Structure 1
Amino acid sequence: MTRATKLLTSLPQPQRRRLMSLAREVSFPEDTRIFESGGTADRFWVIRSGAVSLDQHVTSAQRVTVAGLGAGDLLGWSWLFPPYVWDFGAEAFSPVRAYEFDAQPVRDLCDEDPQLGLALIRTVAEILAHRLETTRGKLMEQYTVRRRSTL
């Protein structure tokens, strides 16, 4: 399995500086809902410290955790792709400090600076590919365990 890509350290220094000019520092106490599946994806975060769990509703009353994120990880990618709606929910698993970015100014900056836009999209694509690979591995592991228990 490949190593996780980190958004800020993967961007070339000039593009990182331009992106960081739009950042603001935020924090979330433990157990805070950061966003809900189906909500408007109008921002994203890069986690500085703490842990966040991504979850999906299985039923109206039950959520299942699909991934855990920590320092350096990108939280939220739905802001980059229309219709700009969260596919998952997110909750602070511990106290979290993060850089927060409003989506529209970042998208505008990408339009103004195509090199930044391309670098950002490539980096987000690498992050998503890694998360998909990780999820696939977990699903295969669960399938193997269940299959063995039924034999």
Structure 2
Amino acid sequence: MSTPSPIRIAAALSTDHRGRLMSHAREVNFPEGARIFDEGARAESFWIVRSGTVTLEIPMAGRRPAAIESLGPGELVGWSWLFPPYVWQLAAEAMTPVRAYQFDGPTVRMLMDADPVFGSAIGNWVGRVLALRLQQTRTRLVDLYAPRAATG
């Protein structure tokens, strides 16, 4: 089975919608090893990676977190800001120095409510990213925990 391509913002949103969203961006940097967010914390922001690598993880009690996916330039980091109760479902860490655009989730939700066409475009983009992430999470967990076939 082939790995699906990442859903980058440039391919997911029209030039107008991308420009409208980006007008609310602020540039941020994360050093290597920085926790961007933790599972269970309040989700009030999201990011688009400019450079570097962010790893999404599922915390595992008594074990190292399970790395689900690595995200790179143009990719969305965080979707929990869009769906009540606005709590992170995963954790994210900067695996390299990361430069990103940061967005305020409540502000973007207000923009989405005020303009249904813009709101639909953002919702569709985040929904597509979420569907891909769920598929990749399932694949990663099966890889981690499925019984290995005997060789010999």
TM-score by length of 1: 0.89
| Alpha-carbon distance change, 14 to 41 in structure 1, aligned in 2, over 3 angstroms | same
Aligned to 1:49: 51
State the 1:125 CA deviation.
1.1
Count of residue correspondences: 150
State the 1:92 CA deviation.
0.5
Out of 33, 37, 46, the position equivalent to 2:35 is: 33
Aligned to 2:64: 62
Identity fraction in percent: 46
State the 1:10 CA deviation.
1.2
Check the 8 A contact 1:6/1:73 in 2, yes or no. Answer: yes
Structure 1: unaligned runs, 5 residues or longer: none
1:19 partner amino acid: L
Aligned to 2:105: 103
Aligned to 2:5: 3
State the 1:143 CA deviation.
5.9
2:48 partner amino acid: V
Aligned to 2:89: 87
CA–CA separation in structure 1 for the residues paired with 2:148 and 2:33: 35
CA–CA separation in structure 2 for the residues paired with 1:126 and 1:110: 17
The ranges of structure 1 where at least 4 consecutive aligned residues each deviate by more than 6 angstroms after the TM superposition are none
Out of 133, 136, 148, the position equivalent to 2:135 is: 133
Cα displacement string for residues 68-95 of structure 1 (whole angstroms, at most 9, x for unaligned residues): 1111110000000000000111110000
Deviates more, 1:131-140 or 1:36-45: 131-140
Structure 2: unaligned runs, 5 residues or longer: none
Cα RMSD of the aligned pairs, angstroms, is 2.0
Check the 8 A contact 1:7/1:124 in 2, yes or no. Answer: no
- SS of the counterpart of 1:148? coil
CA–CA separation in structure 1 for the residues paired with 2:26 and 2:143: 39
CA–CA separation in structure 2 for the residues paired with 1:55 and 1:143: 15
State the 1:139 CA deviation.
4.0
Check the 8 A contact 2:69/2:136 in 1, yes or no. Answer: no
TM-score by length of 2: 0.89
Aligned to 1:148: 149
Q: Which has more helix, going by share of residues?
A: 1
Cα displacement string for residues 19-57 of structure 1 (whole angstroms, at most 9, x for unaligned residues): 111001111000011111110100000001100111122
- SS of the counterpart of 2:150? helix
Check the 8 A contact 2:28/2:99 in 1, yes or no. Answer: yes
1:16 partner amino acid: R
